């Protein structure tokens, strides 16, 4: 029996950016090719070659857009936009030699080739300014409208499904972003446009201290609230790997609560925090991958979490716009911290200081806060959602300490569900008690790793008593991690259903 059956359409994607960075690192270690620019690892070889990015996530391609990130439409070697080199939306022929002809034909050839590998559709990274547009040489309103309307025509002709509008000379100009959506509506209303506040990886960070909360971050909350009034999708933007859990949770819960006040129809994209996306029914922008380094080891060690999250969203609890459902948060704020000064990454530029990121201990969507029994002095982050279709999801997410890495304090979860509806469980749970609305003693209990294609009858491994089912942490781990590959550090993710 397979509980996983596609039912819902997602506006989510696999994004090439982090994979471009990983390819850069792999090549530099192997001393085959090296470039100072992550952008230079987006070309025919690295996308369509035998081990190219188009071959990623065969399990998910029919559910996701393949999104070409920064670099696809510019020459090699560009570091910045000082000369207005970005924003052409013309496929760079040196990178993709098969993309010949007029700009719209180039784009169509690129998109068609991706779709031939089974991807649902194609998205492109878009600079938030026209090519040649810098502060000393800005287009007039009419010139700008003509420029972008032409590119909407190209995208319509080429079958491009998604624009990820990012940084550029006009990236913080709310009116420009609003006009983009208006011009799109005139020409290609089916195109999905994602906007984002162009912000750093640490919420609330200023020059003197680390606040750690999104709501306290200068004018950023105001800007993201304005974006949510017209955007199709709002991305929560860059985070650090070590502190990504609290950073992402805090941004998502702020957006859901703020936008709900004025009935925002926007969707939130929480990027690569897969279990945040699954637990709160928001869109996912996968930055992970299934690449292997020169020794055959996985570069990203939690890619199976992405598979589980997408399958939950596409089969059981699809992403909801901000306006659907209230959000409740716990009274306690948890904080994780890290000093990045000695990291061999771009994060070292933040200097020799401890940076904190904080988020509520509990966040629930469309439901009361989860009933949790804490088994240790510390608490994990816990998210839950009772979807409007009745599916229930709960996630227990880890904390971070610099000297310990990631760890998940032990908890017992006590949840309720209707007897005929699914439950999604994500993360490490020591004990799960489910109270159903009817007697379960004549039912069989099935559980399935959300990355698997076969459910397992676990009835004899559970404790049943009238309307209650109890699962141990060992059972949750056994089923929920059954599809983890060697060196895979993905946490459990499973669906439970009574039959």
**How confident is the model over 170-225, as pLDDT tens digits?**
999 999 999 999 999 999 999 999 999 999 999 998 655 567 999 989 899 999 99
Pairwise CA distance, residues 83 & 61, whole Å:
37
Check residue 472 and give its pLDDT. 98
Check residue 36 and give its pLDDT. 62
Pairwise CA distance, residues 202 & 239, whole Å:
6
Check residue 210 and give its pLDDT. 60
Percentage of the chain beyond pLDDT 70 is 97
Q: Is 70 exceeded by the pLDDT of residue 31?
A: no
Check residue 35 and give its pLDDT. 52
121 has which bridge partners? 65
Q: Is 50 exceeded by the pLDDT of residue 32?
A: no
Q: Is 90 exceeded by the pLDDT of residue 34?
A: no
- From residue 397, how far is each of 37, 429, 439, 476 by CA, in Å? 33, 10, 31, 15
The answer to which of 30-34, 74-78, 176-180 has the lowest mean pLDDT is 30-34
The answer to whether the beta carbons of residues 334 and 379 sit under 8 Å apart is: yes
Q: What is the mean pLDDT of residues 102-109?
A: 98
Whether the full predicted model's pTM is greater than 0.95, yes or no, is: yes
* Average pLDDT along the chain: 95
Write the pLDDT tens digit of every residue in 56-67.
999 999 999 999
């Amino acid at each position: 029996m397979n509980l996983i059956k596609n039912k819902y359409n997602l506006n989510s994607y696999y994004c090439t950016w982090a994979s471009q960075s990983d390819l850069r690192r792999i090549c530099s270690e192997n001393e085959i090719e090296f470039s100072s620019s992550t952008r230079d690892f987006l070309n025919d070889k690295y996308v369509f070659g035998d081990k190219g990015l188009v071959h990623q996530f065969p399990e998910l391609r029919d559910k996701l857009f393949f999104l070409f990130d920064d670099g696809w439409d510019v020459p090699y070697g560009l570091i910045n936009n000082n000369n207005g080199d970005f924003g052409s939306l013309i496929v760079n022929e040196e990178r993709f030699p098969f993309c010949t002809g007029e700009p719209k034909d180039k784009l169509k050839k690129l998109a068609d080739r991706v779709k031939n590998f089974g991807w649902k559709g194609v998205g492109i990274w878009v600079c938030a300014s026209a090519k040649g547009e810098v502060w000393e040489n800005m287009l007039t309103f009419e010139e700008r409208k003509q420029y972008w309307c032409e590119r909407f025509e190209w995208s319509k002709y080429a079958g491009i499904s998604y624009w990820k509008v990012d940084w550029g000379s006009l990236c913080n100009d709310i009116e420009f972003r609003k006009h983009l959506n208006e011009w799109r509506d005139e020409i290609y209303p089916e195109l999905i446009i994602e906007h984002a506040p162009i912000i750093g990886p640490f919420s609330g960070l200023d020059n003197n201290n680390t606040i750690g909360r999104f709501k306290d971050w200068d004018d950023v909350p105001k800007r993201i609230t304005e974006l949510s009034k017209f955007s199709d999708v709002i991305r929560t933007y860059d985070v650090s790997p070590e502190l990504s859990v609290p950073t992402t949770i805090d941004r998502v819960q702020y957006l859901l609560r703020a936008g709900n006040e004025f009935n925002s129809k926007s969707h939130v994209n929480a990027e690569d925090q897969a279990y945040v996306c699954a637990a709160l029914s928001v869109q996912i922008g996968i930055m992970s991958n299934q690449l292997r380094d020169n020794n055959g080891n996985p570069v990203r060690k939690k890619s199976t979490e992405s598979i589980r999250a997408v399958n939950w969203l596409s089969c059981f609890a699809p992403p909801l716009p901000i306006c659907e459902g209230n959000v409740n948060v716990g009274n306690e704020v948890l904080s994780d911290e890290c000093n990045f000064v000695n990291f061999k990454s771009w994060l070292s530029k933040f200097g020799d200081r401890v940076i904190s990121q904080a988020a509520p201990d509990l966040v629930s969507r469309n439901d009361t806060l989860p009933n949790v029994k804490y088994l240790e002095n510390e608490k994990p982050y816990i998210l839950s959602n009772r979807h409007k279709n009745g599916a229930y999801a709960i996630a227990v997410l880890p904390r971070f300490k610099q000297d310990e890495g990631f760890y998940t304090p032990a908890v017992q979860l006590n949840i309720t569900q209707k007897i005929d509806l699914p439950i999604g469980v994500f993360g490490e749970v020591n004990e799960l008690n489910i109270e159903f609305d009817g007697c379960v003693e004549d039912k069989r209990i099935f559980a399935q790793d959300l990355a698997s294609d076969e459910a397992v009858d676990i009835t004899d491994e559970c404790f049943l008593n009238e309307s209650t089912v109890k699962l141990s942490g060992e059972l949750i781990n056994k089923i929920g991690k059954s599809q983890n590959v060697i060196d895979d550090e993905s946490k459990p993710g499973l669906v439970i259903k009574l039959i």
